[in-house]
Each structure stands twice: as C-alpha cells, then as structure tokens.
Amino acid sequence: MNRTHYDFHKMVGGEGCGDNSSQVAGTILVVDSGCLDYLGHLGDALAQCRLVHKLEAREACAFLWSNTVNLALVGHCQDSPCLELLEIIKSTCPSIPVVIIADQSTESLVVDVFRCGARDYFKKPFLPYELVLTLRALLGLQQTPAVLPGTAPPNCSEKVFRHIQTNFRTPLSLTQVAEQAGMSVSSFSRCFKKQTGMTFVDYVNSLRISNAIRLLKEARLSLLNVALSSGFSNQSHFNRVFRKHAGMTPGQYRTAKNRH
C-alpha cells in the first residue's frame, strides 16, 4: 500500500520550518508543556517525521482540524489533565493513535485513558528510546524487534499489519484479520508463521506481554488492570500467558523488579 508523504519540517519552537523537498512518513502532534526532556530525542530519532508542538488544547484542536495528523502525543499533569483532549481527539478523529505522557500517575488514570482510546501510556521518567520504538510501530515506520518479532507477512497489507500492532489490546480475531488481508484463514496462518516464526495468537500475545511488562513497572496499577489494559479478558488467562513468555507470574516479575 502506498504511503502518503508530507513536506518535511524540522520542528523549531512549535512551528515548522525547513526544506520542503524532503519527504516524511507522517505528522506527530505533541501537546505537552513538559516535552523538552524528550522532544529533542524524538526529533533526532524520527527525522523523517514532522513534529508539531502545541502548548494548549485549543491550539492543538485548531491544528488537528485543519491539518493531516498521523499520531498525537498528549501530556498529562495536574495543571493540564489529558482526558478532555483525548476524548476530543478520539471523537473527532478516531483513527489517530494517541499516546499519553504522564507526569503523575494513578491506577484510575491508566484505566481511564485506555478506556477512552489511548494506544499507549508512558509515565515520566521513561527511556526516550522506548517511546521512539512505540511511535515507530504505531506509524508503521519499521518493525520493532523487541516488541514485534520478525517482519510483516509480505502478502498482508500495511493497513492490516498496523491494525494488529495498534489493536492488540482489543479482542483480535484471526478470521477478521485474515479477511482484511484478503486471504483464507489457513493461507494467512501459513504465511504469517513462515514470516514471523510465530502463530498469530502467539504473536498477539507477545505484544500484550511486552505491554504488560512495561505497565508492571507502575507499582500503583493492580495486576488485574495490567491484564485488562494489555488486552487480556481476565487475570487467570493473563497469568498463564505471562508465565509461558516470562517464566514467572506477573506478581513474581513485579516483586523481582522491585528488588533492584
């Protein structure tokens, strides 16, 4: 599938400027007053993207409604909560992935942002490269080895593979995804296993476990909500799959990490 390219602008002081002859994979709207600690890293690591920084929700909405935006980074702090802007973005532009960057975190906030449609959630401080890997996956710029083993099956369109990447927290049906790829279930399964070395179910579970491992670092988040926020329907299933992938239960993993 052909990707739409946009004129490239290096982000400077919240506005675009630069060489229009370059091409980029998409536009990232950043709405976070505390983004200076990671924005420079994003600019270097995602040089093929246009970064647009807006301080206020009103300005962000005005830009969003008059421009093509491929992904939104929305900050959350006490003076500028994220839920209202998240709800506006998802109600007006539901296809745009939204990643939340939180200065402070509570269990209820994590649950609420995922219920409102956020694709991912980071609590400061975090490693900038982890955010870069997430944004690359959401934008389909490249596959992320640590989260997405192997490569996309060549007969699957970019749209289908991105659907898997960005919707692993919701129930994903092999039949539904195969239909999106225009293939029978058996043909899709064979192609997928050949290219990734994994079954469709194991692949989706690997995405969910990778997300859960990151969420387990947030001590205030219960194991049940880690499971639900990662795409598992119940904690029992989450525990079984997590043990298979990590060799220990989620509770044991959290305890081991907290010792270091």
DSSP letters, 97-149, are -EEEEESS--HHHHHHHHHTT-SEEEESS--HHHHHHHHHHHHTSS--TTTS-
Q: Which two tokens stand for residue 98?
A: 């939204």
Lowest mean pLDDT among 31-45, 67-81, 113-127, 144-158: 144-158
Q: For residue 119, what are the contacts with CB-CB under 8 A and spacing of at least 6? A: 97, 98, 99, 138, 166
d(C-alpha 123, C-alpha 24), whole Å? 28
Structural fold of domain 143-260: Arc Repressor Mutant, subunit A (1.10.10)
pLDDT of residue 82: 92
For residue 234, which of 243, 225, 222, 246 has the smallest C-alpha distance? Answer: 225
Lowest mean pLDDT among 22-31, 171-180, 181-190: 22-31
pLDDT of 178 over the 50 cut:
yes
pLDDT of residue 138: 82
Domain locations along the chain: 6-139, 143-260
Q: Which two tokens stand for residue 233?
A: 């329907």
Q: Which two tokens stand for residue 87?
A: 């709800």
- Read off the pLDDT of residues 57-104 as tens digits, 9 standing for 90 and up: 889 999 988 898 999 999 998 888 899 999 999 888 888 899 999 988
pLDDT band, residue 9 (cuts 50/70/90): very low
Q: For residue 46, what are the contacts with CB-CB under 8 A and spacing of at least 6? A: 28, 132, 135, 136, 141
- Looking at 3.30.465.10, 3.40.50.2300, 3.10.100.10, 3.30.565.10, the CATH number of the domain 6-139 comes to 3.40.50.2300
- Read off the pLDDT of residues 50-69 as tens digits, 9 standing for 90 and up: 999 998 888 999 998 889 89
At residue 89, φ and ψ (nearest 5 deg) are: -65, -45
3-state secondary structure of 259: coil
CB neighbourhood size of 33 (10 A): 14
pLDDT band, residue 23 (cuts 50/70/90): low
pLDDT of 145 over the 50 cut:
no
